[in-house]
């Protein structure tokens, strides 16, 4: 049964633009600006002088994961996936359940 449901613009903007750009920014900081990344994450535990090699390796691996996440979003059929869910009840459920899930963490 076809409906005339249109995906809300907020979801489109978030999943198609904001989230991939945020992943790329995270990859950049985790790989190229490691000291800044650590201080923005938790200033009290960030190293004062030089970043240990083990921490640098972990941050580079984290940057790779951010990059993989961004590439996966860029090449997957996210617009198709978002448009496939034409049920307004499903999107209403997401609007209601997401704040509750975020509150419980």
Angle at 97 between CA 96 and CA 101, to 5 degrees: 135
User: Residue 61 is encoded by which pair of tokens?
Assistant: 């691996």
Six-digit token string for 24: 């790329």
Instruction: Select the more confidently predicted residue: 49 or 83.
Output: 49
Q: Which helix (H) or strand (E) holds 57?
A: helix 53-75
C-alpha closest to that of 20 among 61, 66, 60, 77: 66
Q: Which of 4-18, 37-51, 52-66 has the highest mean pLDDT?
A: 52-66
18 vs 15, which has greater pLDDT?
18
Q: Output the pTM of the full model.
A: 0.63
Q: 17 vs 53, which has greater pLDDT?
A: 53
């Amino acid at each position: 049964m076809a409906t005339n449901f249109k995906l809300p613009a907020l979801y489109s903007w978030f999943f198609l633009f904001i989230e991939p750009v945020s992943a790329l920014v995270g990859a950049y900081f985790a790989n190229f600006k490691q000291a800044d990344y650590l201080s923005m994450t938790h200033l009290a535990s960030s190293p004062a002088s030089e970043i240990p090699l083990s921490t640098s390796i972990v941050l580079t691996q984290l940057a790779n994961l951010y990059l993989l996440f961004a590439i996966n979003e860029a090449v997957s059929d996210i617009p198709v996936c978002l448009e496939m869910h034409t049920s307004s009840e499903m999107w209403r459920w997401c609007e209601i359940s997401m704040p509750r899930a975020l509150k419980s963490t």
